[in-house]
A and B are shown apart, each in its own frame.
Chain A
Amino acid sequence: MSHGVLAPAIYGLLAEFETPTELVNASQAAYRAGYRKIDAYSPFPIEEASEAIGYHKTGVPLIVLLGGILGGASGFALQYWINVIAYPLNIGGKPYNSWPAFIVPTFEMTILFAGLAGVFGLFALNGQPMPYHPLFNVDRFSAVTRDKFFLAVEAADPKFDIVGTTRFLESLKPLSISEVPH
C-alpha cells in the first residue's frame, strides 16, 4: 500500500453470531490467526469468551484487597488517634487503646473501602462512563444487550487489513459483518 492512499477511517470490523458457542469459537480462531486487538461482546458474561480473546487476569481483586487494607488500617488508626491522642476518655477504667472495642468499626471500614474501591476500580478499568463508542454506530450492535453475540476486530491491530480481515471473518460464518465507522 502506497503512503499516498489513506487507510479507511474505520474503527474496525464487527461480526455477528447467533450463539455463545459460535462467538467463543470465532474468538479463538481470531486469536489463533494472530489478531490481538479483538473483543467479544455478549448479552451476559461468558467466561470462555474472555479466555478466547486472551484476557485472563483482571486487576479488580487486587484493587479490592488494597481498598480493604487501606480501609481497615485507616479505620483502626482513626479510633486509636481519637481515643489515645486527641480525646482520651476514661470509660470504666478501660485502657485508652481498648482495641477489642475498635474491631467493629475497623471491620466495617474494611468492607466499606473494599467495596467502594472495587466498584470505582471496575468502572475506571472499563473506562466507564463512556457514553459514546464507535460500535454504537452499527445499528445491529444494539442486539448485544439482547440476544446476539459480536466479535470486533479493531483497525488498530497490526494484522488488520480490510480485505483480508473481512475474508477471515467470512470464513467464520457469521450472521453479518459490518464496518464500524468512527
Chain B
Amino acid sequence: MLEEPPVLTPGQTFDSVTDQIADAVLTRPIGLGWLAGLALAMGLLAMLGMAITYLLLRGVGIWGIDVPIAWGFAIINFVWWIGIGHAGTLISAILLLLKQSWRNSINRFAEAMTLFAVACAGMFPLLHMGRPWLGYWMFPYPSSMGVWPQFRSPLVWDVFAVSTYATISAVFWFVGLVPDFATMREKARHKYTKAVYGILALGWRGSARHWKRYEALYILLAGIATPLVLSVHTVVSFDFAVAVMPGWHTTIFPPYFVAGAIYSGFAMVLVLAIPIRHYYRLENMITLRHLQNSAKVMLATGLIVAYGYVFEAFIAFYSGSTYERFMMQNRWFGSYAVFYWLLILLNILIPQVLWIPKVRSNIKALFLISVVILGGMWLERFVIIITSLSRDFLPSSWGHYTATRWDYATFFGTLGFFFTAMLIFIRIMPAISIFEMRMLLPESEVKSK
C-alpha cells in the first residue's frame, strides 16, 4: 500500500498559514505569468464583448441555429458551464457535511469557480432569447401585459433553480470570506486596502458568540445547498427529459446529468488547482492528496456517466420504439457519429487510466486528463442536443447544424470571462480559506484537562 500524502504538510503554524495565504494577495508582486494569463483571458473577454454586440445588432441569426436545431451552442454551453459549477458546491457543502476536512484547502476557490461558471452559464439562455433586455419577462411579476409565466414548463423551473443556485452560492461564498476579510483588514498596510477589507469584514472580531452562530449557519447552508445542487442539474435535465424528443425523453437523465456535472466540475477544479498551487507555491496546502482525491471522484462519477451511456443505448432498443432505436443508430453511425465516438473516447475510455495509482499522482497527467474530460463533457451535451434535434420524428423536418464563427467566439469568450474573473479573484481575495486552514492544525484542538 502506498502511504497517503498529508492534507497539510507538517511544521505549519497559525502564523505561517495566515501569512502564506494572505501575502499571496497583499505583498506578492504582480508576476509576468499572471499578466500574460490576464492579457490572454481579457483578449477572449473582448472577443465576447464583440460577439455579444454583434448579436444584439443582428439577432440570433448570426449563430448556426435554425429550425429544427433551435438550441445549438447556446444550450450546450449553458449545460456545460452550469455543470462545472457543481463541483464547487459539492466540495464546499457536501464534503463539509461528510466531515472531509481535506476540502478546507480547496473550497474557497472552488466556490469562486462555481460563481463564475454560473455567471457564464446564465449568459447563454439570456443571449439565446434574442432580446436579452426582456429577460425579466421570465420572472413572475405583475406586468402591464397581464400575463404570467407558465409554471408547468421546466424552462420556468430552470429560472428558479439557476437563480436560487447563483444567489445561495454567492452568499455561501461571502459568509465564508468574512472572517478572512478580517484577517486581511488587520494585515493590510495601505490605508485604502485596509478600508476596503474592513468594510467587507463587516466588523468581524472573532467573538465566541459570533462563531457559534456562524458555525450553525455554515452547516445549515451546507445542508440546504446539498439538495439544491442536486436539484439544479436535475432541473436542467428536465429541460430535456420532459420533452418527447427521442434521446431526451428518459428517466436516467437526472442522475446521470448530476454525475456528469460533478465529473466536469472536478476536472475544472484540477485545471485551476494545478497551476494555482504551482505558481503560488501552495504545494504544502493543496497537496498531492487533494489531487488524488479529486481524481478518484472523477473516476467514480465518470463510471456513473458511462453507466448512463450504456443504459441510454439499452433502453433505446429495449423500448421497442422505432424512433428511439433510430436515434441510437443515428448517434452511432449518422452524420454526427464522429462526435459520439470522440465523446466515448474522451469521456469514458481515456479517463480509465485513473485506475492506476501512478497516474493519480502524476500532476501533468492529471491536468491533461482533466482537459480531456472537460472536452468530453462538452461533446456529451453536443451529442444529446444536436443529434436528437436534427433527426426527430418526421424526415421532412430533419436538418443539419453547423456552428458559425460567432458561436465559437461566444463560447471561447465565456472562457475568457471565466479565467479573467478567476485571475482577478486570486489577486484580491484569499484563494484558500485561512480560518479553515487553521482548524486543520493540531494546535487548534482544545486539550481536555
Contacts and interface: CB of A to CB of B under 8 A. Distances in A.
B404 interface: no
Interface stretch (B204-212, B292-300, B346-354): B204-212
A176 interface: no
Interface in B196-244: 198-199, 202-217, 220-221, 224-225, 227-228, 231, 235, 238
A128 B204 contact: yes
A52 B212 CA distance: 12
Interface stretch (A3-11, A83-91, A157-165, A167-175): A83-91
A2 interface: no
Interface stretch (B163-171, B279-287, B376-384, B408-416): B163-171
Contacts of A181: none
Contacts of A146: 14-15, 18, 183, 186-187
B216 A45 contact: no
B156 interface: yes
A39 B445 CA distance: 19
A42 B208 contact: yes
A20 interface: yes
B148 interface: yes
Interface in A38-84: 39-50, 52-53, 55, 58-61, 64, 68, 78-79, 82-83
B427 interface: no
A68 B179 CA distance: 26
B146 interface: yes
A161 B156 CA distance: 64
Contacts of A79: 151
A155 to B, nearest CB: 17
A115 B217 CA distance: 9
Interface centre among A40, A102, A112 (most CB of B within 10 A): A112
B160 A109 contact: yes
Interface SS of chain A? helix
Nearest to B157: A104
B40 to A, nearest CB: 35
Given A20-B446, A112-B167, A145 B182 contact: yes
Contacts of A144: 205-206
A102 B203 CA distance: 41
A89 B156 CA distance: 15
Q: Give the size category of B's interface with A.
A: 35 or more
B220 A60 contact: yes
Contact of B216 (A61, A94, A105, A108): A61
Contact of B217 (A50, A53, A119): A119
B448 to A, nearest CB: 8
B446 A115 contact: no
B15 A60 contact: no
Interface in B138-156: 140, 146-152, 154, 156
B212 A45 contact: yes
Contacts, number: 200
A50 B446 contact: no
Contacts of B198: 131
Interface in A120-145: 121-123, 125-126, 128-133, 135-136, 141-145
Which of B147, B204, B211, B221 counts the most chain A CB atoms within 10 A?
A: B211
A115 B221 contact: yes
Contacts of A118: 217, 220-221
Nearest to B174: A119
B315 to A, nearest CB: 23
Interface stretch (B65-73, B123-131, B433-441): B433-441
Contacts of A24: 446
Contacts of B185: 145
Nearest to B182: A145
B202 A53 contact: no
Contacts of B206: 41-43, 144-145
A122 B160 contact: no
Contact of B210 (A102, A126, A142): A126
Interface string B390-423: 0000000000000000000000000000000000
B220 A64 contact: yes
Given A60-B216, A91-B152, A145-B183, A135 B211 contact: no
A47 B447 CA distance: 12
A43 to B, nearest CB: 6
A61 to B, nearest CB: 6
B175 interface: yes
Nearest to B437: A44
A101 interface: yes
Contacts of A111: 164, 168, 224-225, 227-228, 231
30 contacts: A25-B449, A41-B207, A43-B435, A46-B446, A47-B215, A60-B216, A60-B220, A64-B220, A68-B224, A82-B140, A82-B148, A82-B149, A86-B148, A104-B154, A105-B160, A109-B164, A115-B171, A115-B225, A118-B217, A119-B171, A121-B217, A122-B175, A125-B213, A126-B207, A129-B199, A129-B203, A130-B202, A131-B199, A132-B203, A141-B205
Given A44-B211, A129-B199, 19 more contacts: A21-B446, A25-B449, A42-B206, A42-B208, A43-B183, A44-B436, A45-B435, A49-B446, A82-B148, A104-B160, A108-B160, A111-B168, A112-B168, A116-B171, A122-B217, A126-B207, A131-B199, A131-B203, A146-B18
For the complex of A and B, the 10 pairs showing the least CB-CB separation, nearest first, are A147-B14, A130-B203, A129-B202, A50-B212, A45-B211, A104-B157, A40-B208, A108-B160, A145-B183, A128-B202
